[in-house]
Structure 1
Amino acid sequence: MKLKISYFNKGVLINDIKRFAWIGICYLIFLLFEVPFKIITIDANNTGNPGYLTSMQNIFTNEVLMVSIAVIPVLTAILLFRYIQSKKSVDMIHCLPIKRVKLYDNHIFIGILILTVPVIITALSALLLKGALGLNTTGIHFTVKNVISWAGITILFDTFIFLLSVFVGMFTGLSAAQGILTYIFLFLPMGLTTLINYNLNFFVYGVASDYYTRTGIDFFSPMTKYLAHEPMIFMDILIYIIFCIIFYLAARFAYHKRSLEAASNAVAFKHLEPVFKYGITFCCMLVGGIYFRSIHYWVALGYVITSLFGYIIAEIIITKSLKIFRNIKGYLLYAMIIVLIIVGANFDIIGYEKRMPAVENIESIYMDSGFYFLTQKEDIQIPLYSEKENFINIEKLHKKLIDDKKTLKYYSNVNEQVAIIYNLKTGKQIKRQYNIPKQVYGEYLKPIYESKKYKEIHNIILSTDSSSIDKISINPNQTNKNVTITNPIQIKEAINILKNEASNETYEDIVDSRADWANINILLSNDKRIDLSWKKSYKQFENWLKQNGYYAKARIMPEDIDYAIIEKRNVNNANAGIDISMKNSNVKRLKITDKNKLEICLTNYSNSREGQYVLGLYMKNGDSTTYLNIEDKYVPDFALEYFK
């Protein structure tokens, strides 16, 4: 029996297809060029090309496809609902004997159809090519599962962005604003979180801003999720589907309630104007705070200028008039609230900055120079401490950092950080991050760095079985020499000595800023590699190399150098570059040819740019010249005497 009332309106569907089918056709042509056509060309050019496998597996993950996902759904949403942004067309369309929600549902159906059909056709074409060309070579990530996965994720992201753009369009009367606001919403979670975190650093001491900007906020935008090339798990897909349903229903409700007069207005609903206005004001203020902090540290002035600018722009957009100063009271109220928040943060009225857990309530503590380890997908050991002795030592350090708030709050050397996460027995976490000059806190860091747990975390060699090692390569710095050890007995001896060196390192050895002698590369039988350094403090390993005849090839030697030059920088420009090419005869230089003095220089140079003294090494082959630094505390006595 034929239904008297069809859920879809045939006339609306046919009209939409006639008017907007070109979007789907263009999308299909684009996808056919980006997927099947590329498969054909890559396969045709496969004449022993080493990049063949990489090219094949990158077909479905390239940035061009990401651009199509970002552009086509937004364009489709804008064009399909363009009529509601024009007063003439919205009056005419809504005079038709069709309910609003039914009209809305028909447009949504056509929009999803336009975006879905090209992806399905492209996926089927790719699968046909796979069979026709026999692309079943081991190592090529081009399986049926890969193609179906790409098609499914693309359809999901296309639908998500399309429905988001439709949702945004219901709250504005301008097509341009719909497009702009869609992209703002796409990156809003990541952008707003980053802005807030950076600004919190100005006022809240110890806030773990890097943790929140590193851990998982890319999930909230399909764009950042796509660029991360991370596999989508079932829960990710389910969450995106739920958001699609929410956007669909919310936009449907807004479409039903939206007045016809909203066309051409920046904000379609009157009661949402304050959200729009103060949202722009707040975001402008955050950006301004970061900018002014970067140039003059005038954060407060930056807040005032940029927030006022944002407020004025928002008022002009909403009122479509330059007569906005009669509404300045709104800005003054906003400013008062922001001042109260900033004052409260500065005086730590909620006790955030001094909050520390009792040792008996701690399950474990994460501590490192940052939150890097928490964001890595590789099988690496996380710096997590579970020993009571380390709890006490870490809390002593933390308490000292809290006491030194006035000194450290505006310490800006981001290369020296301490990141702490207390994992409590209740399941909660306390996260803190501080910029510190580590040399000042040596007595607090020393017992932590010298603990057995710290050394196990930072020296993977301690947990490596020498029987699983196939080869040891030693590649010295500043020279092309190298040593390769394959003898199993020597490998075992060397590894045992390196383990002993790592276990017995003192805090001073660990933080020694002098450059290492060489990089030690260990090849395991499972083809994995371990990299560690031959540090200047590894005397036992040095003696073993001498005994086995490897020493001269394992490091740069005085015999490799024709002569060296030491030059002193200007005290007022200690970190600037230097010309040690001997062209400037007015600069005082110390030339060194004595082998003993050269050895002292090689033992004490650094890779950092700190200090006033520069060391130039002129190699015997005449083709190589290396410029290095010597930190002030390691400058040889003979050089200090010369430059006195």
Structure 2
Amino acid sequence: MIFNRLYFNRGILYQNFRQHGWLGLIYLLLLLLSLPLNIGTAYRENAEKINSLFMVRGELLWFFAISIPVVIGLFLFRYIQAGGPADLYHSLPLKRKHLLTMNLLTGFVMILVPIWITAGVTGWVSAVVKEPAYIFDGTAVWMWGVTMSMVSLFMFTLTVAVGMCIGQSILQGLTVYGICLIPIVFWGVFELHLMRYLLGFPDDAFQYGRTEISPIVRISNLNYAPEWGELGIYAALTVILVVLTYIFYRKRHVESATQAITFRIVKPIFRFGFMFTVVLVSGAYFTMIEPRGSEFWGVTGYIIGGIAGYLGAEMIIRKSWLIWSRSLLPRFAVYAGAVAIILYVPVADWNGYASNVPTSDRVEKVRIGGDHFTYVDNNYIKMDDDQFYSANTGYIDAVVTLHQKIVDSDLPLRPLGVNRDARDEEEVRIDYQLKNGKTLSRQYYIPTSNFQQELMDVKNRDDYKTTRYETYILDGEVRNIGIRSGYNRDRTAFITNPELIREFKALLKEEILDQSYEDQRSPWETFASVEVYMNIPESSSKLMLDGVNRSATYEIKPSYSRLIEWLKENKLYDQLRVSEDEVASAQFIKQEINSPGNVKMVYADPQFIDGNPQGNQMIVTKNKKIISELLQRQRAGFYTDNDTIYQIKLNFIRGQNVYMILKEDDLTEEMRAILLDN
């Protein structure tokens, strides 16, 4: 009897449901409108088989799961955040553990009952609908209920636990979402810090783990029910938070209501966390807007962020902007020192990160170029890594030699968001798999001219060309091949004959593997682009994708003479070639690029010719020889800060006009004569 009266006090339960029960009803109504109503009224000609109910308006369901429980927690425990209610409730003849149990029980009921009523209604609707839009079994309903329960209870108990340490409801709610979002903000901006001040740090080092450490981001990105292991983590965290809630509540003073921070020990944690977050955000912002040639904006951002973050934390804790005291500066110095150490140690020279180059005998295999993705069903899917690594000792030696020279050259740190000199800059991404089982990854932006011999030794090897140009795809079964002219996108050719497909694949692969380092860096546009459509058999293990269709794109460069000759022999070349007789005239407009230190991308710009914004003189010619020479080559876009180029427009008698560019050095004698005469 005594146990029932204390732990299941009917008066407290009745008061809670009378005062806050409407929140549970709103939760139930929102869930019913989002799931069973949608399932019952949706119409599809062909029913979609789904294995998770989160594939039906999952974004709304996840939003409700991370928002409504937080609101319930704020309302149910509002009594500990306001002075009058706190005195009243704690004057009742109930121990705190009894009072806490009643409110936790109320919250659990208001969360779980709507979820399982919705699950039951969803199962009933799916059984009675004659023409369902979605087909699923009872397991999907059960997993939906368990998942929503675990996530909702986690957000509710987190809100309650935070409320024991925070004395204001608004700050409590902000802190709950801050705790969930700070991990992704922290890793995102800390990654920028490492990219800016640590030579060789890859820009995707945290790419795959970043969303995993933020519950809200992780949940909002799911369109399926998590695995049991992940649900187990939420269940364990919920139990831990309940235990912490009882401990905190027992230690909490009644008079701490309305205070920003209720426990003295939490104040330094809050100060440091708030200050460090502001430091990172401010430093990242100043680094991103850093003017060209400046190296101190990022440091200035850290200093400004440290001052603003510390003062902001003090104002929140004291609930006043009048925070000056003798201890303010010494305490700030301690916190600033701790922040400086955390920022400096990972990027310090003595930690050995920047200078770490493995010797060839420590490397099991290596790859250049980073991760590869395949486009399947409107999504990019990361491909299996193993096929892109090479264990060839000669290739490993070449990559290690390049890596060692990069480190020894003492390259300057690359400012974020600044393309210092893209004319002579190349990205190099190196991934080693070491014999001790570890992985070592580095990413650099290097001036090509300083490493030409080392780059040539790497790029002239078949190991590099196979992965860089994806020639391994040509070894698979190809359904058909489409070829599109690089000079006129309307000109296309298709190969469907199996014998011709085999010949074309073999020649294309040979041309790719035989191309020289100079061919790979060719400044000329391709003669044509090739789209290869594959059928991946279910037994394929290379892509780790069963029974899917995928495509790959290749280039037919002007240097691929054997392949071009094959196209002529099989009467495909004429379907792609543009004749000078089809062009009525060619228009030239001179464009001067003179912006020293400000590198810009130059490309064929229709607006420059058609709009002629600078009012430059336009030269028009109908000379068939000149037009023929233009059709044989056109320069690809390039970076420059000082060049003379010609924007050119080919006016076709029929069809779409073509735009191209040539540098002044590319002009033939006939072109120069016409341009000089005018």
TM beyond 0.5: yes
For the pair 1:435 / 2:434, whether they are aligned, the reply is no
Q: Name stretches of at least 5 consecutive residues in structure 2 with no aligned partner.
A: 292-296, 537-547
From the superposition, tell whether residues 340 and 241 of structure 1 become closer, same or farther in structure 2 (CA, over 3 Å): closer
> 1:131 and 2:153 equivalent?
no
Say if 2:288 is the partner of 1:294: yes
Q: Quick check: 2:626–2:671 contact (8 Å CA) kept in 1?
A: no
1:535 aligns with 2:535: no
CA RMSD of aligned residues (A): 3.3
Q: Following superposition of structure 1 onto structure 2, how do residues 449-528 of structure 1 map, counting pairs within 5 Å?
A: 449-465=459-475, 468-477=477-486, 478-525=488-535, 528=549
Distance (whole Å) between structure 2 residues aligned to residue 442 and residue 123 of structure 1? 64
Tell me the alpha carbon deviations over residues 451-478 of structure 1, each in whole angstroms, 9 at most, x when there is no partner: 2222332344435456x33322223344
Give 2:407's aligned residue: 402
Q: Which residue of 2 aligns with 1:545?
A: 567
State the partner residue of 1:98. Answer: 94
* Residue matched to 1:579: 608
Counterpart Cα distance in 2 of 1:57 and 1:564: 60
Q: How many residues align?
A: 634
Alpha-carbon distance between aligned partners in 1 of 2:203 and 2:119, rounded to the nearest angstrom: 42
CA deviation profile, 1:257-290 (whole Å, cap 9, x unmatched): 1121221111111122112112222111111112
- Alpha-carbon distance between aligned partners in 2 of 1:34 and 1:346, rounded to the nearest angstrom: 49
Q: Which residue of 2 aligns with 1:10?
A: 10
Picking from 79, 101, 108, the partner of 1:83 is: 79
Task: Tell me, in whole angstroms, the C-alpha distance in 2 between the residues paired with 1:603 and 1:162.
Answer: 68
Verify the 8 A CA contact 1:561 1:617 in the aligned structure 2: no
The alpha-carbon deviation at position 582 of structure 1 amounts to 6.4
1:175 is displaced (CA, Å) by 0.6
Residue 221 (structure 1) aligns with: 214
- Specify which structure has the higher proportion of helix: 1
Equivalent runs, 1:320-359 vs 2, <5 Å: 320-326=319-325, 327-339=328-340, 348-359=349-360
Partners in 1 of 2:47 and 2:574 — Cα distance?
39
Per the alignment, residue 283 of structure 1 pairs with 277
Residue 575 to residue 361, structure 1, CA distance change in 2 (3 Å): closer
1:386 is paired with a residue of what secondary structure? coil
Q: Deviations over 1:340-393 (max 9, x none)?
A: 5666666512222112223222233343156879x9745455532322222221
Secondary structure at the counterpart of residue 483 of structure 2: strand
Kindly provide the CA deviation profile for residues 97-143 of structure 1, in whole angstroms up to 9, marking residues without a partner as x: 22222322332232222222222222222222222224567xx5644
Q: Does 1:251 align with 2:245?
A: yes
Q: Sort the Cα spacing of 1:105 and 1:4 in 2 relative to 1 into closer, same or farther, 3 A.
A: closer
CA contact (8 A) 1:472 1:491 kept: yes
Cα distance change of structure 1 residues 75 and 2 upon mapping to structure 2, 3 Å threshold:
closer
Cα distance between partner residues in 1 of 2:358 and 2:385: 25
Cα–Cα, structure 1 residues 624 and 386, in superposed 2: closer, same or farther, change >3 Å? same
Greater shift after overlay, 310-319 or 404-413?
A: 404-413
| Counterpart residue type for residue 404 of structure 1 | S
TM-score, with structure 2 as normaliser = 0.84
The 3 A distance-change label for structure 1 pair 357 and 633 is farther
The AA in structure 2 aligned to 1:407 is P
Q: What CA distance in whole angstroms lies between the structure 2 residues aligned with 1:126 and 1:547? A: 64
Deviation at 1:172, TM superposition (A): 0.7
Amino acid at match of 2:412: T
Identify unmatched segments of 5+ residues in structure 1.
Answer: none
Q: Is the 8 A contact 2:256 2:262 kept in 1?
A: yes
The counterpart of 2:431, out of the listed 421, 427, 434, is 421
* Offset of residue 26 of structure 1: 0.9
The answer to whether 1:613 aligns with 2:618 is: no
- In 1, the alpha carbon distance for the partners of 2:582 and 2:149 equals 62
Percent of paired sites with the same residue: 25
Letter in 2 for 1:234: W
Q: Deviations over 1:178-226 (max 9, x none)?
A: 11111111112211011111112332222234211x1222122333223
Instruction: Give the residue type in structure 1 aligned to 2:204.
Output: D
The aligned amino acid for 1:544 is: W
Q: Which residue of 2 aligns with 1:385?
A: 390
Q: For 1:561 and 1:256, how far apart are their aligned partners in 2?
A: 87
* Gap change, CA 1:548 and 1:32, over 3 Å in 2: same
Does the 8 A contact of 1:42 with 1:52 survive in 2? no
Moved more, 18-27 or 418-427: 418-427
**TM-score w.r.t. length of structure 1:** 0.88
Distance in 2 of aligned mates of 1:370 and 1:347: 28
Give secondary structure in 1 for the equivalent of 2:276: helix
User: Residue 325 of structure 1: SS of its match in structure 2?
Assistant: coil
| Aligned counterpart for 2:268 among listed residues 245, 268, 274 | 274
